[in-house]
Every structure is written in C-alpha cells, then in structure tokens.
Structure 1
Amino acid sequence: MESVDLHETTNANHVDHGWQKVSYPKRQRKTKPNADPNLPRPNGTLTNGSAGVFHSLEQQSDDRRRRIVEAQRAYAAAAIDADAKHKPKRSVIDDSDDDDGSDLDGLKPNGKPADEEKKAKPKKPKVTVVEAAAKIDPTDLSAYFAEWNGEQQEIQMQKFADYYGKAFQLVVAGQFPWLKLFRESTVAKLADIPLSHISDAVYKTSADWISQRSLEALGFFVLWSLDIILEDLAAQQAGAKGSKKGAQQTSLKSKVGIFVALAMVFQRKPDALISVLPKLRENSKYQGQDKLPIFAWTIVQASKGDLAVGLYSWAHLLLPVLSSKNCNPQSRDLILQLVEWILSVSKARSILVNNAVRKGERLVPPSSFEILMRATFPASSSRVKATERFEAIYPTVKEVALAGAHGSKAMRQVALQMFAFAIKAAGESMLLHLTTFCSLHPFPPALPAPFLYPLCSY
C-alpha cells in the first residue's frame, strides 16, 4: 500500500470509504533496510529468533566434560582400592563409548599424560658410609684447609665439620642410625664408630690440621657438635613418641659427618674433652640417662687418644650417675662396660697408675672413689648382679685412686678425705673394704694411729 501526503487525501475518490494509511516522511527515512535473516545478532542468536540453535551442542559438551571428570574420579578411586588390596583392578571407564572416552586415552587420574609417569624424577642413590668415605680425597682436603688460613679458629672448626657433612650428605639417616647403634652396640664396638671407614691418609691429614688448633677452639667445637647431636636426639625421641612436630624436625640427613669430625678431635686432642667436662656436669641440657650412650661414645674416642683422659672422664662424668636414685640397670651396665674396656687395654694398669695425677688433679678423686666403694661393698640386702663386676674392677681403680708418693702433702689430703667418708660409711653399717686405708703410710698426722687399727682389721 502506497503512502500519500496529508493534503492529497481530501481529493481522493471515496473507494476506500475514506480509510487510507498515513505515513510520515521523516519516520520513513529512519526505517532500516531489511536485515539478512541468516546473519547472527550480537547476542549470538539469529535474526529469525532462533536463539536455541547452539543449545544442544553446548549441552552435549557439558555432558561430555562431566562424564570425563566422573570417569577420572572413578579411575582414581579404583587405583587406590587396588593398591590397598595389592590386586590389579580393571578401569571403571567405559571403553565402549568412543565419543565420551576418546579424550581419556593416555590420561592419568590427575589429568596428566600417562607418559609423564615415566619422566618422574629419579630417586637419589642410597650411598653407604663406606662408599662416601672412599670418595674423600686427602689432597682435596688439604686444599680446603689452605683456604681457611687467616679465619678465626672457631669458624675453621665449623667449616671442618661442614666439609665432612658434605662428604656424607648422600648418606641418609637410615644408612647410619647412630642412636640405635649407640644403644645396641657394646662399648668395644662404639670405639670403631664411625672412623673405621676413614682411610689412614684422610685421618692423618685431618689429625695434623687439628693438632694446630688451640684448645679453646677445640672446646668450642666439642660443645657446638654435641648441641647438634643432642638436638637430633630430642627430635628422634619426639618422633618415637608420635609427635608430628618432632617427626617433622627429625632431619632426613645423616649425622655421620659431625660424628667423624668429632671423633677425630677426641682422638687427636683428648684434652678437648677434659676442657669441657665442667660445663657438661653443670649444664642440665647435658644431663640425663638418655644421653649416656652419647657420652660413653665420646669417652671411648678420647680413650683411644689418651687412656688416662678416658678414666678421668669416666670418674668425673659417668661414675656419679651411680649415686642417682633413678639409675637403671642399663645405665649401670654401660658405666661398667666403659671402665672394663679401659682397664682391658694393653698395659692399662701401668699407664693409669703412672698418670694418676694429671695437671694437679687425680684421675679418680676421693668423691668418685667413695661412689665406687659404695657400689662395690653394699649391704648384703642391696647386692645386685652388677656387684661382682664392681668387685672385679675395684682393685685397679683403688690403686689409681691411692697412687702417689707416701707422706707427700697431696697424699695426706687424699687420706683425710677418704677417711672422712669411710667413717661415715661405717656408721651406716655398710660392708666396706676399709683395709684400703691400712696401705696409706704414714698415717695422717691429724689422726692417732691406734684409732685406725680397728678399721684396718675390719
């Protein structure tokens, strides 16, 4: 139907009874040409109003992704169940549905390609202590020593331990369970842990270098090393009790390096142990029967360097543990093992008697000898299986405790001290080997000789 202007309508025939469509030119000009019904609109629908043309495709894609995720989860659950039962289990994925499962081919439960499983990081080889020790080159070690010249000796000692720590870094804790070894090994075996694997050339190179360090630097190193060992001990004990925190703190690395360095120091400079004994006795963190295996090991290593240092350390550090009310049979056995091993060394008696006094101090002071006498001669009702072992070592230890020039000022002081605790023990109705004091001549001038006759004839 054509549109006409408004002024022409009055002259038109009345065929349409006066009804005609009226349009306005301005609006006519604004009308857009007909759009192609096949072109998409900005919102993704066609101009003909077909908004759901992609709906079925999207729904199929969503269903397909959902089935893939469900299949992956089912596959992971099946794998876990198969590991628990130690039996292979068929995949729950429906291989018959090629369209839904085609994208799952070559996929692991975590969605990663299966061929990546073959590219897993290779496990580090388990290196034994023997293998790691064999790779240490004495020439290389000497070169490292030369690089440290000019630095503080305490820092040099830490680098010395760090060198051996790196040399044994591939030795995992399971290859050197030091706490288990210390607890289950005899004292004789402790003497060879872990230096038996170090070559003579490496040991000599290290020992020569250690001999040039000051006693103060060596004492610092001993305490520093023991602190590291005790921290590892605490972590292992916490892990054994089921503490997650303790288990996390337990290092997976072996401590063999620090034990190697520390053993070399003790064997080459045994006096380093004597220099720190006061701190070991006074500081509570070094006390406790759970730490006895560690200190038994240190005394054995020092004894290999100087037997007199070994007996001195035993009498001052371990023997006093016997007087503790909580001393258990395991601790008593370890204390006895250590002194038995020291006295079993070739020519031990002559070495110890000739060195009974060291730098003005006795290897076996009167206070320690009192503890030994009480353990050797208890009341008949207090005898235990270990009493016979104390009786066996008593004569030699007594000889060392009473060694010295008769009549000297030092011996008179020793006699007075021993007589005082002997009188105390006799008053407690203890069976004591008081004939010991009859071997002291002359008698202390402060005491009348007739007073000693009943004791000597006891």
Structure 2
Amino acid sequence: MAMDDVAFAAGSSSSAMDALAASSSAAAPADPSHGWQKVTYAKRSSRKPAAVAPAAPDLGGKPGGVFEGLDKRSQERHRAIQAARDAAAGYDSDDANANARVPWGSRSSDEGSDSDGAAAKDRPQAEAPKKPKKPKVKKPKVTVADAAALIDAESLAAHLVDISASYENQEGIQLMRFADYFGRAFANVSAAQFPWAKMFKESPMPKMVDVPLSHVPEPVCKTASDWISQRSPDALGEFVLWCIDSIMSELSGPTVGPKGAKKVVQQTPKAQVAIFVVLALTLRRKPDVLINLSPKIVGNSKYLGQEKLPIIAWVINQASQGDLVSGMFSWSHSLFPTVCAKSSGNPQSRDLVLQLLERFLTTPNASKARAMLLNGAVRKGERLVPAGTLDLFMRCTFPVPNARVKATERFEAAYPIIKELALVGTPGSKAVKQASQQLLPLAVKAMQENNAELAKEATDVFIWCLTQSPESYKLWDKLHAENIQASVAVLRKITADWKTLSPKLNSEALKATLRSLKAKNEAALEEAEDSGEKASIKEADKYCKAIIGRLSRGATCLKGSLLVIALAAGAGFMLSPNLDLTADLEKLQAMALELQAMASEYLRSF
C-alpha cells in the first residue's frame, strides 16, 4: 500500500504539492497506522469516505520496528498531497458534485465538463410564450354566376380575333387559348361553389343539362359559338376529347385513403368550370363531332365506370341540345349497348340511360321529337337505331315473367318508337335491305328462347324482314336446318294470318323457299333420332304443304278467271255488228295487256 502511495505522489508533478509536503514532514506526529491510508479521487468526493485501515502488525516484535521512520514520512507526505489536492480542487467542488449527480449519458458531447448544461436539463424549463395566431383573411366567395356575369362578349370577340391571327394555321393552339380565356374568367370559383362530381351523381338528368352553361350570358355564348363553327371537325374532335380527359382525370384520382385515414376531399382545378363551359359550347355548336368520337369514348375502359357514366350522359345530352338526332345516334350506337348489354346490369346505370332516352323522346314534346327522329332515321347510310340495339331493347322489353324489374315498364313505353326507328324506310331501299339482313338472324335466335312474349315479337320482326327484301328468303333457307323451331313459329304465323300477310309477301320467292324447306325437312327427318326433333320437322313440313297448297289454288283460280275474261272478250269481238279489224284488234291487244297486269297483281297476293 505504501508503494502505491509513493507512485501516485510521484505522478503528481505539482511543485506546490512537493513544497507543502517538505514543510510539513518534520512537524507530523507519530501515527500507529504508519501512514497507510486509502487514497480517494476528487471526482468521487461525493461518496462516503472509507474507514481507516487497521494498523499494520508489528513484524519486528519491538515498538516502532524498522519501518517506523518510513511510515511516518509516508503518512506526512500523504497528508500534504491530500491537502494540496483539496486546495486545488476546492473552487470546482460545486461543479464536481453536480456532475456526480448527472448521468454520464446525459452530458453534452461538446462541453462534457460544463455542469451548467447538465444541470439545466434536470431543472424544468419555463415554456416560451406562444405567438398569437394571425387571423386568416377570408376571401370573398365567387359563384359560377358571379364569374360568368363579368365575362364581356366584346372582350371575348377581341381575344378570339387576336388568337386567330396569332395562330393562323394552328387550330389546336387556338382552341386551347379559347379555353384559357374562360379559365381566367372562372379562376376565382372554388371547389365548394362548383362541386360538379356530387352534382352529377345526385341530380336528375333534366336538372344537369344546362349546368354550368345557363350562367353564361347569351351574347358570350353566341360569340363563342360563331367562332367554333369556323374550326375544322378534326381539331374540334381532338379538343372535345381533351376536355373529356381533363374531367375524367379528376374522377380517376385516389378517392379512398388507407384504412382509418380521412377521406380525400376532391379539389376542383381552377379551370374546371371553364372546361365544362367550353365543352358544352363546342358540342352544342358541332354535335356531329361526338358521333365520330362515340366509339372511342364509350368503347374505352378509361371512360367506363359508375362514377363516370353521368359525365358521358351529360356530354351526349349537350350534343342533343344542338341536334336531337346526333344525341340519339350516340345513345343508340354506343351508350345503350355498352351499359345495358347484360340483363344483370347496375340499376342506377340503367336508370340514367333511360332518363336520357326519355328526354330525347319528349324534347321539345313527344310529337315533335318523333317527327325529328323519323326524319333522321337513316343518316349517312347508317340507321339511327341499328339492328343490335333493337334486339337488345326487345329483350329488355320482353323478359321472362320472373325477371321483370321496375325499369321494364319504362322499356315497354319506349319500345314502339325504338322499333319504328329501327324498321322505318322505303321497302327495297338499300338501308331497309341491310336492316332486314341484320335483323333476321337475331330474330331467329330470339324465337328459340324459352320466352313466349319474346318469341312472338321476334316472329313479327322476322316476317317484316321477308316483306322488305327477296334476299331474306334466301337467308331463311340457309338458317332453316339448324333452326327448325324458328321456322315452325314463322310458318305457323303465316298460316294463321294468311289473309293479312299474303298481300305483303313475295309469292314466287315464298313458294321457292317453301319447296326447298320441304326437301330439307325430308332429309332431316331421316337423320333425326330425337322424338321432339322429329315432331318439329313434321310440323314444319305440314305448314309448308299447307302454304304451298294455298299458293297453287290461287294460281289456278287466276288462270280460270283469265280464261273466262279472254273468251268473253273474243265473243264480243266476233259478234260485233260493226266489225273493224284494225281498230278492234288494237282494243283487244290493250285489253290483253290490262289482263296481264291484273294477273301479276293478283299473283302477288298469293
């Protein structure tokens, strides 16, 4: 222990400590412990001092022993060193005690010996006074009507003249600058003032048709429409598609966050009102543009979906405001076949489609709407209501009894005009022949479904096809072998309503077709194994024979009648008292021609 103390004292190179130790060595009294005491560090001064070690045993057996002098000097030196250390560390004792109380890990890495920082962490700090919040300045609410009322027609006209001159051969840029003008006009309209997604979803069709164009002054609409009419169809088509894409992009954004998150509020762009305005203006002035775009819009999944359907319906409605036929064309060729193709479709979607149709059929009133639609029943070689649409509408109108829904009555109410639009036309014309060729196979398929009402209506459509074109008889002949049930339904209908139908049918084409069917029935009967199939073949053959018999009897009666007429004319000629061979021969020839015409007309009735 003494050697350790000596080593520690040697390591402390302080001159003051050495001087103090030399001055106090002579005055130190004898100590029985021989100066062997434990040395403590300043940083551990807060700990309780250890007890003084017991006195070392007397190894020599005499008082003092041989190490007595060495022990005294060691003890004195130890006291001097301890006193010097206490004096040197006295000024920092408070900080040392504070550091001893603060955990090591909580001391500052930059100032490890600074006890003020450590102590400050232990003491609670007073909270800084909060700065008062500045009150938010509420911007004045600007409605669509307010913004629209500030648009000046003369200012718009000057702007249109300017962009037309600046971008003379760039119609696409002209249309974008046209949209920019309205974008600046409606820039202060917030989403809360024009919640278009909610409006289209919750409002009925008649209420939305004039939104938001009803707020725009009439002179502004006229100025814009006149300018739009001078743009090319291709440029307008691209512009309309861009407007629709801009609207759809808002609906395609994320509307539902993670589980537990708040719902995302739709943020309407500043120019969103303007897009609806310029789109409505364009479609009302140039509705034909939508006819060319309808297959791209409705046939693309980007534009499909329950939340997007009200926008598509609104777009078609805008075109109908400019031209009712254009709106109906887009509805029957694109919207209705897409939405109602499945019988298990969404009821809300079906309701929206029917709302649009009912508006077409009653605008401005039912009589005028019907006249306008019939006048445009065939447009550029295409029927306003194609064959596929009539077939689908017929199935919606005549479902099986247990599949009727609330919308069935609405289909029944609109079916007569839809059928009329699909079948109207001059018999023998190109459009009518094309319609009959397309409808006949669809009617054959519908007649064989287990639905009596649908089969009855399909039979009427089939017979209409026979009355419009001789080519329909040839098509019937081709389809007969695989669709005997349909042929039975048609033959039964012709037999039952012979008096009313025979004048409308082509007797020669009908007779040739029935003979062909009869021959096919005989061949099919030999190959048939099912009893039900055999019964259908025999029933078809029975009706074929009956109708052929009626046609033959009619021809025989006609021949007899012509013979009687000819004999009577000859007898009158021979018995005439004033016989003029030349004049009377001319009369006889004229009579023969008249009889021939009568015979031809009579044959058509059979």
Same fold judged by TM-score > 0.5? yes
Q: 1:172 aligns with which of 181, 187, 190?
A: 190
Give the SS at the match of 1:70: coil
- How do 1:48-447 residues align onto structure 2 when only pairs under 5 Å count? 70-72=126-128, 109-110=130-131, 114=132, 117=134, 120=136, 122-150=137-165, 151=167, 152-235=170-253, 237-238=255-256, 247=264, 250-251=267-268, 253=270, 255-320=272-337, 321-324=339-342, 327-345=345-363, 346=365, 347-430=368-451, 431-432=453-454, 433-434=457-458, 435-439=460-464, 442-447=467-472
Shift of 1:427: 1.2
Q: Distance in 2 between matches of 1:445 and 1:338?
A: 37
- The unaligned stretches of length 5 or more in structure 2 are 1-90, 96-115, 478-486, 498-606
The 8 Å contact of residues 289 and 327 in structure 1, kept in 2 or not, is answered as: no
Cα 1:197–1:383 change in 2 (3 A) is same
Q: Distance in 2 between matches of 1:300 and 1:315?
A: 13
The 8 Å contact of residues 212 and 276 in structure 2, kept in 1 or not, is answered as: yes
The 8 Å contact of residues 407 and 441 in structure 1, kept in 2 or not, is answered as: no
Cα 1:325–1:401 change in 2 (3 A) is closer
Deviations 1:72-99 (A, max 9, x none): 3xxxxxxxxxxxxxxxxxxxxxxxxxxx
Q: Distance in 1 between matches of 2:141 and 2:344?
A: 41
Cα 1:139–1:239 change in 2 (3 A) is farther
Q: Distance in 2 between matches of 1:309 and 1:454?
A: 40
The 8 Å contact of residues 173 and 254 in structure 1, kept in 2 or not, is answered as: no
Q: Which shows bigger deviation, 405-414 or 132-141? A: 405-414
Cα 1:316–1:175 change in 2 (3 A) is same
Q: Distance in 2 between matches of 1:193 and 1:236?
A: 25
Deviations 1:135-160 (A, max 9, x none): 00111111110111242111111121
Q: Distance in 2 between matches of 1:342 and 1:406?
A: 27
Deviations 1:365-412 (A, max 9, x none): 111111111111111121111111000001011111111111112211
Q: Which shows bigger deviation, 319-328 or 124-133? A: 319-328
Q: Alignment RMSD, CA only?
A: 3.2
What is the count of residue pairs matched by the alignment? 361
The 8 Å contact of residues 194 and 256 in structure 1, kept in 2 or not, is answered as: yes
Q: What percentage of residue pairs aligned between the two structures are identical?
A: 47
Higher relative contact order (CA 8 A, sep 6+): 1
Corresponding residue for 1:16?
A: none
Deviations 1:147-198 (A, max 9, x none): 1124211111112122111111111111111111111111111211111111
- Aligned letter for 2:469? P
Give the SS at the match of 1:117: coil
Q: Distance in 2 between matches of 1:224 and 1:240?
A: 31
- Aligned letter for 2:139? K
Q: Distance in 1 between matches of 2:446 and 2:463?
A: 17
Which of structure 1's runs of 4+ aligned residues deviate more than 6 A?
A: 239-244
Deviations 1:272-321 (A, max 9, x none): 11121121133221222332101110111110100001110111222111
Shift of 1:442: 2.8
Q: Distance in 1 between matches of 2:380 and 2:255?
A: 39
Give the SS at the match of 2:127: helix
The 8 Å contact of residues 172 and 254 in structure 1, kept in 2 or not, is answered as: no
Q: Distance in 1 between matches of 2:258 and 2:223?
A: 39
Q: Distance in 1 between matches of 2:448 and 2:336?
A: 23
The 8 Å contact of residues 142 and 189 in structure 2, kept in 1 or not, is answered as: yes
- Aligned letter for 1:147? D
- Aligned letter for 2:431? A
- The unaligned stretches of length 5 or more in structure 1 are 1-50, 73-103
Shift of 1:413: 1.6
